[in-house]
Each structure stands twice: as structure tokens, then as C-alpha cells.
């Protein structure tokens, strides 16, 4: 893969995904190297000045009033990282840590932080060596940045704590660095804050969630189209002239996609005409473009937020072009926290509508001729009855996860940090919600596929039929009850692979 080049140029979301998920290497441009060296020179001038400068020659947070003598400043930086690496809980996913490291590196490379060139080089080498510091889940309040998560990374750069090597093995960080020929960093003035005072963790998770949701909303259009066929619904409500009466862009996209997905369906054609006694389909079928489209528009809004953040330089204090070092509040995570919370709402709602379509296919009173629960021998077999229970349990959980984290705030640092964003918490619950949506859509995919098989000899549309055929490579068709959990897992894996997106595009 091509290296992602870093300087003050805004990163693209796809570049973050490439480094975080596909292991793309990173490289500093010559412009970035010059900017880093220049800003470091400004910091060193201020470090020798009699007048104290926050972050350079003072303590931090509520302790900022203390002037630190020159001979204690290296100890100050080490103490900052060690004390702030106070996270707890489960280990954060490697892709999240890689995204976090990339985004912090990009800010360091901007020339606005005042770190040593050797520190920047060490982080570049860690990323390219596939080393992933262990970052615990809890510890960030989303203000003054993601302090505890970023401190865990900085601690590993110092050769302390734990990290996973390129094989995924968990080992002492110093040992992993030495094996890769990377010298642990020795922090100088200002560097501790520069390494930890950013919103990189929550932003990285936002970018990764956007990548997932773009794919999953397309899958929701697909599973909805399959359910429309299975339930003998109509495609006429998705017509462009009807959608144009309410010109939301996302709605138009989803409606157009569903029309294409249902094109040339023998099942849909079989009940089209004067003999059809159906007047209107249920909302979960008829209104799918409205719900999926609103989700698309929410994603579009949060993409704008993410892109602005990817063009931002978050540190406090910050080194300005004229050499001044100024305190600021740009580390507050509200813009990212709100975006993460916004996304949790349509994630829950798209899943909720999917579950309603699944339930409809399983109810003999509403499924228009399908057997109860799509069972092979109803009464002896339960079919997909309990798969819908699983959907319902996840949807209920997603509703709880849609409650915003960013409206909460817990004062900290002796009331110096008296309002925090909780953006990291919003990011963590959104990741869980995205996983839940994946499972809900997988169960609808399984159910709609079985229902389409039961409509034989009528054939589904070419595109929904292609999705059905892809699923049948790993999951058998209708028959007596069998262990269903592995089939749900297989459908999830198919969705995550992106293959369905490719064959139904």
C-alpha cells in the first residue's frame, strides 16, 4: 500500500481507515519535518526564559500555578505520562489505537505542538512496525483530550507498559521497541502535553464508524428489498417522482437503490396488476427509504464534522506560526461527541425497522402464505422464531445506547476542568451499536433469504438473487431445524466482508 503522507494538510477519512484497518504505512513530508524542527526551536527559547509558560515550565491543570525548575522538567514530563496512564477496563481494539496514533501523529507533524523531531520519528516507526500499545477502555472524559488513552500510547513510546507486536502477541512495550530497533523516547519540555492533549481517540472511532455505517445502510436497503419481495410487497412506492415530493437527498438514494434491487423480480411481478388486493404495505416496507435516507443524511452531517476535525490541530498550549505559545480550549470534545451521539440514533432506528420486517415474515397472519416462523414442520420445528428474539434483544440494547453521552458532564481536576464532553464514551457505545446493527441485519438477511426460497418457483430480482446465492455458499436453504447461531455468524461475516455491497452495487 502507498504510504499516507503527513504534514499540515488535512487527512482524508479513507486514509485513516487505510492505516487503522489495513496497515498502510505513514511518512512525514519534508515540509512537516521542517515545521516540527521550527516549532521545537520556539519551545526551547521559551523554556530558557524567566517568565513561566504553561506546559513548558509549569505544572498542569489545577497545578499550572507552579513554576518548575529546569532540573525537574524531564521528571515532570515522565510523571505526567505515568500518572495520566491511569486507564482501566478491557483493552481497546487495535484498529482504534492505530487510528488514535495516526491522528496524534498528524497533529505533531503540523508544527503546532513543539515536540522534538525524534519523538515524532519514534511514533512513525511504531505505527509502521505494527506495534499497538495497550489502551484500556476507561479513563477519558473527552476534555483536555483523550488523556488516559493517549497517555497509554505515550507510555509505550517511553518503553513502559505493554504493547502488542506485529504478530498480535502481548509483551512489555520496551521489549517490543528494542526488537524493532526503536529507541524509547526521552521527553523534554512541552512534550507530555503534546502527546496526550487531543481528541484523537474519539475522532478515530468516529471515522471508523462512518466507514462501517456507509456499508451497513446499503445493506439495510438490500435486506429491506429482499423483505419486500418475500412479503409480496410493491416497488411502486419507491418511484422517483414520489420520492421527489420530499427532496431529502438520502431518501432519494435509498429509494433509487431499492428500485434497482427489485428490478425484474418475478415475485414482485406476480402480484402486480388489477387482480392484486393489496392497497398499502406496512410502514417497515413502504417507509424504508425515509428511515434509511434519514440515516444517510445524518451520516453526511457527521462526515462534515469528521472532515473539519481531520483538518484541525488539537493541543494545549499550541505553538503559533509567530512562535507564541498560547493556551486554548480546542481540546474540548463536544463537536465530536455530538456527532457520535447523533449516529447512535439512526443506528438504533434502522435496526428497529429491520426487526419489524423480520417479525412480519415469521407471522403467518401477516406473511401472505409463508409457513409460521418459516419452519419446515411447524410445531416440530421452530424455524427462525428465536433468531427474532435475538434481534429484539439487540434492538432494545441499541435504544439504550442511543441515549446521548454528551449531555453528561462530571467536573474534574479540582474544578479546573469543570465541564467535559464524554465524547470517548459516546464513541465506545457507538462501536457497540454498529456491531448490534450488523447482527440485526444479518438475521433479516437470513430470514428474507429463506422466505425467498419458499416463494419458488418464482425467482427474486437478479440483484437480490445474487445476494441470496452468496449467502447460500455458507448457509443452507430451508429445511429442518439446525444450529442457527453459526448461520447468524456466517451472515455477519458476509456483511462485514463487503462482498454483498459489491455484488448489489
pLDDT digits (tens, 9 = 90+) for 315-339: 988 999 888 888 898 899 999 999 9
Q: Which of the listed residues 198, 230, 245 is the one where a domain comes to its end?
A: 198
389 carries an active-site annotation: no
| 311 lies in the same domain as 457 | yes
Angle between helices 334-362 and 385-401 (to 10 degrees): 160
- Full residue range of the structural domain in which residue 353 is found: 205-503
| 192 lies in the same domain as 276 | no
C-alpha grid cell for residue 22?
A: 489495513
CATH code for position 276: 1.20.200.10
Taking the model in full, what pTM does it have? 0.95
Largest CA distance in the chain: 91
In degrees and rounded to multiples of 5, residue 68 shows phi and psi of: -100, 125
| 442 lies in the same domain as 467 | yes
Contact predicate 428/477, CB 8 Å: no
State CA 365 to chain mean position distance.
Answer: 39
State CA 240 to chain mean position distance.
Answer: 32
Q: How far apart are CA 504 and CA 260, in angstroms?
A: 9
| 332 lies in the same domain as 477 | yes
| 211 lies in the same domain as 179 | no
SS3 for 290-303 is: HHHHHHHHHHHHHH
The predicted structure's pLDDT at residue 21:
98
| 154 lies in the same domain as 262 | no
Specify the DSSP element, H or E, that contains 191: helix 191-196
- Cβ burial of 127 (10 Å; 0-12, 13-18, 19+) is buried
Can you give the C-alpha Rg of the chain in angstroms? 26
| 307 lies in the same domain as 414 | yes
**129 closest CA partner among 179, 195, 201:** 179
Contact predicate 180/174, CB 8 Å: no
Measured torsion, CA atoms of residues 23, 107, 212, 263, in degrees rounded to the nearest 10: -100
Q: How far apart are CA 381 and CA 363, in angstroms?
A: 15
| DSSP string of 325-376, one letter each residue | EE---TT--HHHHHHHHHHHHHHHHHHHHHHHHHHHHH-TTTTTSPPGGG-S
Q: How far apart are CA 244 and CA 282, in angstroms?
A: 21
| 230 lies in the same domain as 94 | no
CATH code for position 17: 1.10.275.10
| 191 lies in the same domain as 301 | no
Per-residue CA distances from 157 to 36, 183, 395 (Å) = 18, 9, 41
The predicted structure's pLDDT at residue 410:
85
| 155 lies in the same domain as 240 | no
Q: How far apart are CA 394 and CA 440, in angstroms?
A: 7
CB within 8 Å of 86: residues ≥ 6 apart: 139, 148, 151
Exposure class string for 355-392: b at 16+ Cβ within 10 A, else e: bbbbbbbbeeeebeebbbbbbbeeeebbbbbebbebbb
Total domain count for the chain?
Answer: 2
CB within 8 Å of 13: residues ≥ 6 apart: 207, 210, 211, 303, 306, 307, 310
| 167 lies in the same domain as 272 | no
Q: How far apart are CA 73 and CA 46, in angstroms?
A: 13
The predicted structure's pLDDT at residue 61:
65
Measured torsion, CA atoms of residues 268, 270, 272, 277, in degrees rounded to the nearest 10: -110
Angle between helices 147-157 and 117-128 (to 10 degrees): 90
| 173 lies in the same domain as 280 | no
Per-residue CA distances from 38 to 43, 77, 389, 481 (Å) = 9, 21, 60, 69
Q: Which of the listed residues 173, 198, 223 is the one where a domain comes to its end?
A: 198
Q: Which of the listed residues 138, 166, 198 is the one where a domain comes to its end?
A: 198
Residue with cell 462512518: 210
| pLDDT lower than 70: segments of the chain | 60-65, 274-279
Amino acid at each position: 500500500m502507498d504510504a499516507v503522507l503527513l504534514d499540515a494538510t488535512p487527512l482524508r477519512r479513507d486514509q485513516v481507515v487505510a492505516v487503522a484497518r489495513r496497515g498502510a504505512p505513514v511518512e512525514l513530508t519534508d515540509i512537516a519535518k521542517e515545521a516540527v524542527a521550527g516549532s521545537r526551536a520556539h519551545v526551547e527559547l521559551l523554556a530558557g526564559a524567566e517568565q513561566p509558560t504553561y506546559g513548558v515550565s509549569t505544572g498542569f491543570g489545577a497545578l499550572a500555578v507552579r513554576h518548575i525548575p529546569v532540573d525537574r522538567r524531564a521528571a515532570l514530563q515522565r510523571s505526567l505520562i505515568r500518572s495520566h496512564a491511569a486507564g482501566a477496563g478491557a483493552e481497546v481494539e487495535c484498529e482504534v489505537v492505530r487510528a488514535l496514533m495516526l491522528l496524534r501523529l498528524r497533529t505533531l507533524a503540523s508544527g503546532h505542538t513543539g515536540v522534538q523531531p525524534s519523538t515524532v520519528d519514534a511514533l512513525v516507526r511504531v505505527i509502521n512496525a505494527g506495534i499497538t500499545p495497550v489502551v484500556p477502555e476507561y479513563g477519558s472524559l473527552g476534555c483536555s483530550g483523550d488523556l488516559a488513552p493517549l497517555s497509554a500510547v505515550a507510555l509505550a513510546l517511553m518503553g513502559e507498559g505493554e504493547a502488542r507486536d506485529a504478530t498480535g502477541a502481548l509483551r512489555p512495550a520496551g521489549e517490543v521497541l528494542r526488537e524493532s530497533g526503536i529507541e524509547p523516547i526521552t521527553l523534554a519540555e512541552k512534550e507530555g502535553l503534546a502527546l496526550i492533549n487531543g481528541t484523537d481517540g474519539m475522532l478515530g472511532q468516529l471515522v471508523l464508524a462512518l466507514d462501517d455505517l456507509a456499508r451497513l445502510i446499503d445493506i439495510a436497503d438490500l435486506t429491506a428489498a429482499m423483505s419486500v419481495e418475500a412479503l409480496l410487497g410493491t416497488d411502486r412506492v419507491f418511484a422517483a417522482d414520489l420520492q421527489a415530493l420530499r427532496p431529502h437527498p438520502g431518501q432519494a438514494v435509498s429509494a433509487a437503490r431499492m428500485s434497482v434491487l427489485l428490478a425484474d423480480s418475478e415475485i414482485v411481478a406476480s402480484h402486480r396488476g388489477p387482480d392484486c388486493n393489496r392497497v398499502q404495505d406496512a410502514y417497515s416496507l413502504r417507509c424504508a427509504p425515509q428511515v434509511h435516507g434519514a440515516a444517510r443524511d445524518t451520516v453526511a452531517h457527521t462526515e462534515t464534522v469528521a472532515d473539519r476535525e481531520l483538518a484541525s490541530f488539537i493541543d494545549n498550549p499550541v505553538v503559533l506560526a509567530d512562535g507564541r505559545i498560547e493556551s486554548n480550549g480546542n481540546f474540548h470534545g463536544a463537536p465530536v461527541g455530538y456527532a457520535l451521539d447523533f449516529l447512535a440514533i439512526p443506528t438504533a432506528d434502522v435496526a428497529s425497522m429491520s426487526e419489524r420486517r423480520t417479525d412480519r415474515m415469521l407471522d403467518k397472519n401477516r406473511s401472505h402464505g409463508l409457513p409460521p416462523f418459516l419452519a419446515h414442520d411447524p410445531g416440530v420445528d421452530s424455524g427462525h422464531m428465536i433468531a427474532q428474539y435475538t434481534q429484539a434483544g439487540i434492538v432494545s440494547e441499541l435504544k439504550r445506547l442511543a441515549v446521548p453521552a454528551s449531555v453528561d458532564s462530571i467536573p474534574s481536576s479540582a474544578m479546573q476542568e469543570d465541564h467535559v464532553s464524554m465524547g470517548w464514551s459516546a464513541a465506545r457505545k457507538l462501536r457497540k451499536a454498529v456491531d448490534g446493527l450488523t447482527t440485526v441485519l444479518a438475521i433479516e438477511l437470513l430470514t428474507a433469504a429463506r422466505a425467498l426460497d419458499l416463494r419458488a418457483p418464482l425467482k427474486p430480482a437478479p440483484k437480490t438473487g445474487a445476494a441470496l446465492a452468496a449467502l447460500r455458499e455458507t448457509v443452507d436453504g430451508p429445511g429442518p431445524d439446525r444450529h442457527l447461531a453459526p448461520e447468524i455468524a456466517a451472515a455477519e461475516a458476509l456483511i462485514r466482508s463487503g462482498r454483498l455491497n459489491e455484488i448489489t452495487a
